[in-house]
Amino acid sequence: MTMNEDDIFTTVKTNVLAVLPDLDPDQVTMHGTLTDLGANSVDRADVVTMTMEDLGLVIPISEFQEVHDIASLVALLKRHS
């Protein structure tokens, strides 16, 4: 089943806000990066794991090397959905 990009983004956003609760939800957009939002290396990895779990996906860690912003993260997740 291929998931809708908006649904995937919503899941990513939920997890970003769980990891960084101080953020204004409007700050989390497709165009931003997790680093710019204040996520450290462990926070970023946790957002990925939490989102994979929520979406029921398993993606090899190595594939996340191509991820450089939220848009490319959502694209990778969508490709495996």
4 to 63, contacts with another protein by CB under 8 A?
Answer: 18-19, 21-22, 42, 45-46, 49-50, 52-53, 58
| Closest CB 53 distance from another protein, rounded Å | 4
Gap between the Cα atoms of 74 and 63, Å rounded: 13
Smallest distance from the beta carbon of 14 to another protein, in angstroms? 14
State yes or no: residue 67 binds another protein (CB under 8 A).
no
* Residue 20 to residue 35: CA distance in whole angstroms: 11
Q: How far apart are CA 64 and CA 48, in angstroms?
A: 9
CB count in 10 Å sphere of residue 23: 15
Binding site for another protein (CB under 8 A): 18-19, 21-22, 42, 45-46, 49-50, 52-53, 58
